[in-house]
Amino acid sequence: MLKIPSEKYQPFPPVNLPDRQWPNRMLSRAPIWCSVDLRDGNQALAIPMNVGHKLELFQTLVKCGFKEIEVGFPSASNTEFTFNRRLIEENRAPDDVWLQVLVQAREDLIERTFQSLIGAKKSIIHLYNSTSPAQRRVVFGLSKKEILGMAVRGAQLIKDRLPMLKETDVRLQYSPESFSATEVEFAKEVSEAVMEVWKPTPQRRMILNLPDTVEVAMPNIYADQVEWICRNIRNRDSLIISLHTHNDRSTGVAATELGLLAGADRVEGTLFGNGERTGNLDLVTVALNLYMHGIDPELELSNINSIRQVYERCTGMNVPPRHPYAGELVFTAFSGSHQDAIRKGLAEWAKGERKHWDVPYLTIDPHDIGREYREVIRVNSQSGKGGVAYLLENEFGIQLPKELQREFGPMANDEVDRLGREVSAGELKAIFWREYIERTTPWDLQTFETETRQGIVRCRAQLLKDGRPVELAGQGNGPLAALVHGFAQVGVPRFEISQYSEHALGEGEEASAIAYILVKDQTGRAKWGVGVDTSIELASVKAVLSALNRF
């Protein structure tokens, strides 16, 4: 890297818009969505989708609720052309879905594009030519006037062929490609020249797409550019202002959201951001960002796992684990403090005490998009007591007292550290069972009986201590008090039960009970014990032995 980057690179100049309005606005409704997965996302694949994959992804986009889908570049290849014809001839597009096609301002390409659309119910013909200084200088070697003439010729060629599609409802779209790198005054001039040919009206608007083809500035600059166009272009009420952002600076979502604040009506992008270089706008993220603020995105994303599976199968791409909303780990908490906060937040929500979702670390309820927090929670060496407790409770109904959580959490972490990997819910339960339930030395219960006379409970127990039989008898105001007394009679150092809780594991007559008991010895040391049995009395006795076995 250069020590003085300014010797090679320069900042992007701001737009002169001192009274910009977009920073004070709020989004209140969803934009018009247009998926470009089948064209813009497809062209960036190492192995482009075949017709079968494109058909499957198209149907998925329709199920998601997209009413505008850019289906390809039919003049670019036979595959693209054939796919377009199959959609039309096999009547695969619903009556309310617009098939969008892209074409450059060249007569042969425009002619082929029109041939691909014959018989379509609704179609958007998307004309583009690049307008930025670098494109004018390096690619075309043309002046501004010549670039403007190219756009006008393309627009006229399309207008002249509209009678070919007399049975099709046609909407026209123009993109000054590389808009964000183009002088706003020139982008306006070229766009208005195209409008002069197509003559849109408020009743029959054209789409003016303003692509952030390569991110060259911060997203606030793009918002300024969009607002400047919205405020200065002629016949704004005859236009649908559209955005098409990329992600070169990793701010494609931010640029789109600010562009919508700036006055845009429509958004183009791909499901999970697939596209050239760092990708197109991620439509799922923008839609669910709206959703988390209480705005209906007007897209059906209730089963996001299924959508992701189709996407990955058709494109060969993978959704990253940390991808917002759809990533494998996005509803996973590794930090112990995070796990504890989420557990408490979900418990509060389950009580119905709050009207609006406000769970720490979870921007939306995973259930709303077909996800499950409990299915993806992980326990590793960084996990805390909250996450461990949450997993045991939600998977197995084991409701650890808070103090027991504090005792077992570090033990679980130590075991995970030893394994050097994450552990599953089943493995976590096995660790808990080994530590508390399965301990049988030195004390192992053989039998335990009680009887009550005049309010006094007497117990008799047969035990093994290090494999040798021991019988004890005791009395007290309850079975556990009698047991403690009985241990004192056989010379065990005095101890007391300082905490006790229990609950059922499962439902019905065959359900087991689980008891949690905290035992303190004469020195003040404390250990938890846990017992499980179909009898709550025996579960409690086993919990006492479990605690004694852990000293």
- Shared-domain flag, residues 207 and 171: yes
Instruction: Kindly state whether residue 327 falls inside one of the protein's structural domains.
Output: no
Angle between helices 144-161 and 107-117 (to 10 degrees): 30
At residue 389, the pLDDT reads 84
Domain hosting residue 204, numbered range: 32-315
Query: Does the pLDDT at position 510 exceed 90?
Result: no
| Alpha-carbon distances, residue 390 vs 64, 329, 518 (angstroms) | 33, 17, 21
Instruction: Kindly state whether residue 136 falls inside one of the protein's structural domains.
Output: yes
How many Å apart are CA 357 and CA 343, to the nearest integer? 14
Count up the domains in the chain and report the number: 3
**Looking at residue 57, which CATH number applies to its domain?**
3.20.20.70
Q: Which one of 375, 401, 436 terminates a domain?
A: 436
Mind giving me the DSSP string for 443-508?
EEEEEEEEEEETTEEEEEEEEEETTEEEEEEEEESSHHHHHHHHHHHTTPPPEEEEEEEEEEESSS
pLDDT tens sequence across 86-128:
999 999 999 999 999 999 999 999 999 999 999 999 999 999 9
- Shared-domain flag, residues 262 and 340: no
Q: Which of 290-299, 376-385, 481-490 has the lowest mean pLDDT?
A: 376-385
**Per 3-state DSSP, what percentage of the chain is helix, strand, and coil (rounded to 5)?**
45, 20, 35
Instruction: Kindly state whether residue 25 falls inside one of the protein's structural domains.
Output: no
- Shared-domain flag, residues 297 and 352: no
Q: Which one of 285, 315, 345 terminates a domain?
A: 315
pLDDT tens sequence across 419-443:
888 788 888 999 999 999 999 999 9
Q: Which one of 265, 285, 315 terminates a domain?
A: 315
Closest CA to 256 of 292, 233, 284, 294: 284
- Shared-domain flag, residues 515 and 428: no
Mind giving me the DSSP string for 363-429?
SS-GGGGT--HHHH--B-TT--HHHHHHHHHHHH-----HHHHHHHHHHHHHHHHHHTS-B-HHHHH
At residue 374, the pLDDT reads 60
Angle between helices 283-291 and 252-261 (to 10 degrees): 50
- Shared-domain flag, residues 261 and 379: no
- Shared-domain flag, residues 284 and 193: yes
Q: Which residue has the higher pLDDT, 62 or 409?
A: 62
- Shared-domain flag, residues 417 and 486: no
- Shared-domain flag, residues 266 and 412: no
Instruction: Kindly state whether residue 26 falls inside one of the protein's structural domains.
Output: no
How many Å apart are CA 527 and CA 400, to the nearest integer? 14
Predicted confidence band of residue 384 (pLDDT cuts 50, 70, 90): low
Angle between helices 107-117 and 78-89 (to 10 degrees): 30
How many Å apart are CA 189 and CA 167, to the nearest integer? 32
At residue 499, the pLDDT reads 94
- Shared-domain flag, residues 452 and 432: no
Closest CA to 85 of 103, 72, 67, 69: 72
Closest CA to 484 of 421, 410, 404, 545: 545
509 phi/psi in degrees, rounded to 5 = -65, -30
- Shared-domain flag, residues 344 and 473: no
Instruction: Kindly state whether residue 6 falls inside one of the protein's structural domains.
Output: no
- Shared-domain flag, residues 230 and 87: yes
- Shared-domain flag, residues 451 and 404: no
